[in-house]
Every structure is written in structure tokens, then in C-alpha cells.
Structure 1
Amino acid sequence: MRASRSLLAALLVAVALVLQVSVLARLQLPGAVPDLLLLTVLGLALVYGHVGGCLVGFFAGLLADLAPPADHAVGRYALVLCVVGYAAGLTRPESGQHRSATVPMLVVAAGAVSSTLLYAGVGALVGDTPARGVGLGGLLLTATLYDLLLAPFTVPLVMSLARRLESDPLAGDGGSGTSAGTETTIGWLGAGAGTGLRTRAPRRSRYGRASSVLGRSARNRAGRIKGVKRL
């Protein structure tokens, strides 16, 4: 990742984590806590692709594992966000931008469900039980609902900030193609101009020269006839 990407990702992840811990976690909502950190990772992955989404997800999850009040094993959420960020980055189109908001919303819904399932599965594997005794069905429903309600205010903002630092590959190709086309046009014009300067004046055909000679002889003969004295 470039330095600009890393700085922006670190800033957005830090802001999202502070807001989630200090504001969203204190709302005491039923079920899951709105995962602003997950939405930030998804927004960056939709712009940076699968490699950038994987790296951002890993470091964001690791920061969440270390930030107090963490109630789970270190590396658990880092693994979850790493996998989710990689999968979300795979949905990035070749053009770099989605044509509609349907795909990002589907990615958010799938990310909320998959992150909850992965978090619960990894916790079961390592013997790390959740702090609150909430059923898995309730966690899935509330996590998806909260993330979908929060996504329209978060994901577009994150994606727009990330795209400001991105150079559009299509625009670059188009710009180079335009410049190449301009250079080609100038080359063609220059070649034509040079050819025009080097081209000699068109020669007269033999018929044109013969007709001019005949015309002069006819005029001379007419002059001589007019000059002859009449008998």
C-alpha cells in the first residue's frame, strides 16, 4: 500500500474505533453493537481491492483486539476482519467504481452476517466465549440491521475519501490514449505538411504543352494573315 493509503486507512480506522468504543458501545442497544469498524474496512476494501482490504482488515482487527475494553482473545477479530476485507475487495469492479449502491449494500449485509458467524466460530475453536449471553440468531439479526442502518452514512463517506487519493486507471488510460491520439494527429499533420513542402509543382502534360504551342502558332498565323495586304 502507498503511504497516502496507509495514512488515510490508519486515520479512518482510529476514528471509527474511538467512536465505536466511546459512543456506540454505550448506547446499550439490544443484541449486537453497531460495528463502525467493520463498515470502515468494507468501505476501504471496495476501493482498494482484495489486497488492500485484507491488510486494512487485519490491522484494524488487531487494533480492536488490543484496545480496551477488549473481552476476547488477541487476534480473533483481526482474523475475522482480514477474511471479510479480502472477500469484500474481490467485489471491486475493474472500473474501480460500482454503478449502483446495490452491490455495496449487499456487501455490507454479507459482511455483517459473515463477521458474526466467523467471530462466533473462531471463539468456539479457541474456547473464547462471548461476554454477553446472546443467542447467535439474535446477534445475526441485530448486527445486520444495525450495520445496514449505519452503512448509508458511513460507507459512501469512506469510499469518497479513499477515491480522492486514488488515480482512476481508466482516466489514466484515456488521458494517455488522448495524448497519443493527439500526437498521432500532429504527426500526421506534420507529415502532410512536410510532404506538401517537398512535393514539386505538378507537371503539365504533353497534351497541355502541345495545345499551348498550337494556340501560339494559330495566333501568330492570324496576325500574319491580318498583316498581308489585300490585292
Structure 2
Amino acid sequence: MSAARGLVALAAVVVALVLQVTLFAHLSWAGVVPNLCLLVVVGAGLVRGAEFAMVLGLAAGVLLDLAPPADHVAGRWALALVVVGYLVGRVRSDVRPTATSVVATVGVASFVGTSVFAITGVLLGDPGLGVGQLLEVVVVALAWDVLLTPFVLPPVMLVFRRLEPHGVAA
């Protein structure tokens, strides 16, 4: 991966993170905001594959773990987004994805990513939500991410397609 491609990918994550912690923080539903960083990682996985998405997921997760108002043990989002990047990158096919398959992929990725984050919180004894409230958070996060998919994924996937050199499959 060239330095320019890496910078563009990192810029996409930073823009998503800033929007997530500023604008969408005011639009939270049951205290949950949409995970725009997760959507960027899904877009990277669908277009560029597992390796690229895992690296981007690690960077996005670390930034998300450290960005205010983070109140959890650092590393939880990093782990969750690396897992999401791996899974999405592995299920991508060489044919152009359909709208239905992209929305389904986002739904599964949101469920897996939010579940990994929540379960690691329980395992690490992070104060916050009880086990009973975790399912509600996972469902609300999934709904948010799926609702924003048509607005976020097309431009993100277009950016990642443009980063790919002509004639080279990622």
C-alpha cells in the first residue's frame, strides 16, 4: 500500500470519527450513536480485502478507544474493528456487491463488532452496562448502522475503489 493510499484511508477514518463523536453524539438513540468508523472499515473490507481492512480497523479502533468521551478500557474497539475487518474482507467476493448484500454485511458486521466490544467489557469488568442491557445496545447499534449504510457506504466504497490501482485486484 502506498503512503498516499494510507493517508486517504486514515483521513476517511478521522472524518468518520469526528462526525461520530461530535454531530452524532447529539443524535444518540438510547445512548448509542452510529459507528461510522465501523462503516468505513466495512467499506474497506468489501473493496480492498481483509488485510487492508484489518489494518484500517486497528487504526480506527485505537482512535475510537482514545477519543473523548471514551470511558472504557482502551483496545476494546481496536479488537472489535480488527475482527470486523477480517470477517468482511474474507466474505467479499470478486463480483460487484449488491445493495442487499452490502446491507446484510453491515448488519452482521455491526452485530459482531458491537458484541465483541460488549463482551470484552464484561470480561474485563468494565463498569457501565450490565449483561441485561448489552442486548439492547447491540440491537440499537445494529439499527443505527444499517440505517446509515445507504448514505455512508457508497461514497466510502467509491473512495477505496479509486485507491486501487487499475488492473490490480486487492
User: TM (normalized to structure 2)?
Assistant: 0.91
Q: Could you say which residue in structure 1 is the equivalent of 2:164?
A: 166
Q: Could you say which residue in structure 2 is the equivalent of 1:44?
A: 44
Whole-angstrom distance in 2 between the partners of 1:70 and 1:133: 20
Query: Offset of 1:134 from its aligned partner?
Result: 7.4
Q: Could you say which residue in structure 1 is the equivalent of 2:105?
A: 107
Unpaired segments ≥5 residues, structure 2:
none
Partner SS for 1:90: helix
- 8 Å CA contact 2:29–2:140 kept in 1: the answer is no
Moved over 3 A (4+): 131-134, 168-171
Whole-angstrom distance in 2 between the partners of 1:28 and 1:46: 27
Q: Could you say which residue in structure 2 is the equivalent of 1:58?
A: 58
- 8 Å CA contact 2:106–2:146 kept in 1: the answer is yes
Query: Offset of 1:170 from its aligned partner?
Result: 7.0
Q: Work out which of the two has the higher radius of gyration on C-alpha atoms and give 1 or 2.
A: 1
Query: Offset of 1:9 from its aligned partner?
Result: 0.9
Query: Offset of 1:31 from its aligned partner?
Result: 4.7
Quick one: structure 1 residues 170 and 71, their matched pair in 2 at CA, closer, same or farther if it must change by over 3 Å? closer
- 8 Å CA contact 2:50–2:87 kept in 1: the answer is yes
- 8 Å CA contact 1:31–1:142 kept in 2: the answer is no
Would you say how many aligned residue pairs link Structure 1 and Structure 2? 169
Quick one: structure 1 residues 123 and 133, their matched pair in 2 at CA, closer, same or farther if it must change by over 3 Å? closer
User: TM (normalized to structure 1)?
Assistant: 0.68
Q: Could you say which residue in structure 2 is the equivalent of 1:5?
A: 5
Q: Could you say which residue in structure 1 is the equivalent of 2:147?
A: 149
- 8 Å CA contact 1:61–1:81 kept in 2: the answer is yes
Whole-angstrom distance in 1 between the partners of 2:168 and 2:76: 38
Whole-angstrom distance in 1 between the partners of 2:131 and 2:20: 20
Query: Offset of 1:53 from its aligned partner?
Result: 0.6
Whole-angstrom distance in 2 between the partners of 1:41 and 1:106: 15
Partner SS for 1:135: helix
Partner SS for 1:37: helix
* Residues 129-140 of structure 1 aligned to structure 2 (within 5 Å): 129-130=127-128, 135-140=133-138
Whole-angstrom distance in 1 between the partners of 2:100 and 2:166: 22
Query: Offset of 1:32 from its aligned partner?
Result: 2.1
Counterpart residue identity of residue 157, structure 2: M
Cα RMSD (Å): 2.0
Matched, 1:35 2:35: yes
Stretch deviating more after TM superposition (11-20 or 65-74): 65-74
Q: Deviations over 1:136-185 (max 9, x none)?
A: 221122111111110100011100011112134379xxxxxxxxxxxxxx
Q: Could you say which residue in structure 2 is the equivalent of 1:76?
A: 76
Structure ranking higher on relative contact order (CA contacts 8 Å, 6+ apart): 2
Whole-angstrom distance in 1 between the partners of 2:123 and 2:41: 24
Partner SS for 1:169: coil
Unpaired segments ≥5 residues, structure 1:
172-231
